[in-house]
Amino acid sequence: MQDVAGKVAFVTGGASGIGLGLAKVLVAAGMKVAIADVRADHLHKALDEFAQRGERESVLTLRLDVTDRAAFKAAAAATEQAFGNVHLLVNNAGVSVLGPVKLAGFSDWDWGLNVMIGGVVNGIQTFLPHMLAHGEGGHIVNTSSMAAVVPINNASIYITAKAAVIGLSEAIRGELAADGIGVSAFCPGPVQTNIRETAQVRPEQFKHDSGYGEIERELAKRENSPLWMDPLECGERILRGILRNDLYIFTHREFREGAAERCEALLGAFPNEPVNTARADGIRFLLRNAIFAEQIARSR
Ligand SMILES: NC(=O)c1ccc[n+]([C@@H]2O[C@H](COP(=O)([O-])OP(=O)(O)OC[C@H]3O[C@@H](n4cnc5c(N)ncnc54)[C@H](O)[C@@H]3O)[C@@H](O)[C@H]2O)c1
């Protein structure tokens, strides 16, 4: 998308933190924004903020659990009715399912993956047909995390989901380019948000064998550090990434060396032997993906 003014966005997890920061930036850039979130209190507060900014008419707040496909369909219909065709989909809703893999219960895995992979899938399945049908072009941003690029311990469920989001974004970007739909994997470092309140959105059915109850109670007490990024700055960076059609939208320079180590580890894992050219010729289509060369050229 070269220009967002006059266009329509749908942001999941849009009533708090990064999603809300982005929604403010998008409205300031002239977009109409549907803010979809599972927390009614966050939605009310967000709507109040937009009203105070004199931007009430630019937003639509929708109660949505991203794991609920029927509700997603209804939210998409409500957005189109209010604002018309949707051009920007931001699959941003996420929860902080953190803890040692040894303590994880199936309910931790199921909830984390349902929200952070399933929610992204549901967003794409719901909106992509509309984006293709209206033919006005568009963009999909999927919120991953720096933790998917430079993984940390005690975050296996979260990182599994966020790594899937990068893979998914890479996989569909090349496919959708011809339709004028850009795709970005957004990978922030630490941001000042309410993600510590994860326990408040964990549904009853995902509590029965959870090993993370105590961890989530402790997490709720954690303060945001002033050193973490402001959500508005994050939103600005996302918008810039959309306008440039960046494959990856990174926010924190501090992680570059860690990412470089990972890339080196990948390269170092290849067998140190000559290429079998006959085999290479037989599988040419598997060996390169144009999305990477394009991104390298863009970031030079
Ligand atoms: N805060 C960080 O440092 C950080 C770093 C990397 C990635 N992220 C990712 O950024 C995204 C936004 O998180 P945030 O930090 O702004 O947190 P946040 O808690 O402030 O905002 C997330 C919003 O998502 C909503 N949500 C949770 N589950 C939902 C569901 N099932 N359906 C719909 N809405 C749901 C919450 O109610 C909340 O309003 C998440 O995907 C998170 O994993 C955050």
- Confidence (pLDDT) at 211: 97
What atom in ligand 1 is closest to the CA of residue 143? 41
- For the segment 155-171, the average pLDDT, to the nearest whole number, is 98
- Confidence (pLDDT) at 272: 97
15-33 pLDDT tens trace: 999 999 999 999 999 999 9
**Residue 300 pLDDT class (50, 70, 90 cuts):** confident
* Closest protein CA for atom 3 of ligand 1: 190
- Confidence (pLDDT) at 267: 98
- Side chain identity at residue 37, one-letter code: D
**Which residue shows structure tokens 């004028």?**
180
- Confidence (pLDDT) at 65: 98
* Closest protein CA for atom 1 of ligand 1: 191
DSSP 193-238: SSGGGGGGG--GGGTTT-S-HHHHHHHHTPPPPTTSBPHHHHHHHH
112-131 pLDDT tens trace: 999 999 999 999 999 999 99
- Confidence (pLDDT) at 50: 98
HEC states along 153-205? CCEHHHHHHHHHHHHHHHHHHHHHHCCCEEEEEEECCCECCCHHHHHHHCCHH
Q: Any idea what DSSP says for residue 254?
A: G
Checking if the pLDDT of 298 tops 90, the result is no
Checking if the pLDDT of 173 tops 90, the result is yes
Of 64, 195, 238, best ligand 1 pocket probe by most atoms within 8 Å of the beta carbon: 195
Checking if the pLDDT of 299 tops 90, the result is no
- For the segment 152-171, the average pLDDT, to the nearest whole number, is 98
Contact predicate 142/185, CB 8 Å? yes
Tell me if residue 248 is catalytic.
Answer: no
Q: Which of 178, 165, 169, 135 is nearest to 246 (CA)?
A: 169
* Pocket-forming residues, ligand 1, beta carbon under 6 Å: 12-13, 15-19, 37-39, 42, 64-67, 92-95, 115, 119, 143, 145, 188, 190-191, 193-195, 201
* Closest protein CA for atom 6 of ligand 1: 145
What atom in ligand 1 is closest to the CA of residue 200? 37
Cα-based distances in Å from 136 to 27, 59, 169: 19, 21, 20
178-204 pLDDT tens trace: 999 999 999 999 999 999 999 999 999
74-97 pLDDT tens trace: 999 999 999 999 999 999 999 999
Contact predicate 63/38, CB 8 Å? yes
- For the segment 286-300, the average pLDDT, to the nearest whole number, is 94
- Confidence (pLDDT) at 20: 98
What atom in ligand 1 is closest to the CA of residue 188? 6
- Annotated active-site residue in 10, 50, 111, 158: 158
- For the segment 33-53, the average pLDDT, to the nearest whole number, is 98
- In the Cβ-directed half-sphere of 277, how many Cα atoms lie within 13 Å? 0
- For the segment 93-105, the average pLDDT, to the nearest whole number, is 98
217 class by beta-carbon count within 10 Å (0-12 exposed, 13-18 middle, 19+ buried):
exposed
- Tell me which fold the domain 8-259 belongs to: Rossmann fold (3.40.50)
